[in-house]
Amino acid sequence: MRRQSRAAFDEFVRMHGDSLIRLAYALCGDRGRAEDASQDALTRLYLRWGRLDDPLPYARRCVVNAAKDHWRQSSRRERRELRAARWQPQDGAIALDDQVVDRDQLIRALRRLPPGQRAVIVLRYWQQLLEPEIAAILGNSVGTVKSQASRALGRLRAELRSDLIAVNTREYQ
């Protein structure tokens, strides 16, 4: 890579690297995995750097694909491990600020969404991208993005409402 190109790539990483990590974290919920996905995306971007007119959408798409790859590889293994450990969430062991609790509930509800719906919600509301940009990143039509967003929001509303009802009934028992 030529020196000018290398400097442009380094500047791109300085400008967007943290944003790519936040995107990956919102998709996978784990800081280490988010950093790995972002690193994979930046590696792929580096290899194609001279051929891209607008590298940010390509980098975002690479992050989403890396997160999807992880979901495919780990979902079965994690389900087996959780069943084997008979994992039970602890009921309010730590008193947290209401805003942190709300964010935690939202992240948990997001993790229960299918990967495609989760990616649409994260790109739309965390990354604040428009539907055509999301469609380009995910390789879907705008209509598919809209329908996935609608289904995901409906599911999130239902899950968050049920979480709220469960918390309120525990408080009054």
CATH match for 89-173 among 3.40.1350.10, 1.10.10.10, 1.20.950.20, 3.20.20.150: 1.10.10.10
Phi-psi region of 90 (alpha: psi -120 to 50; beta: other; left: phi over 0): beta
- Averaged pLDDT score across all residues of the chain: 81
Q: How far apart are CA 92 and CA 96, in angstroms?
A: 8
**pLDDT tens, position by position, 38-53:** 999 999 999 999 888 8
pTM of the predicted structure, to 2 decimals: 0.60
Phi-psi region of 28 (alpha: psi -120 to 50; beta: other; left: phi over 0): alpha
CATH number of 1-88: 1.10.1740
User: Quick check: 93 pLDDT over 50?
Assistant: no
Residue ranges per structural domain of the chain = 1-88, 89-173
Say if residues 52 and 58 touch (Cβ distance below 8 Å): yes
Q: 1 or 154: which carries more pLDDT confidence?
A: 154
**pLDDT tens, position by position, 125-146:** 888 899 999 999 999 999 999 9
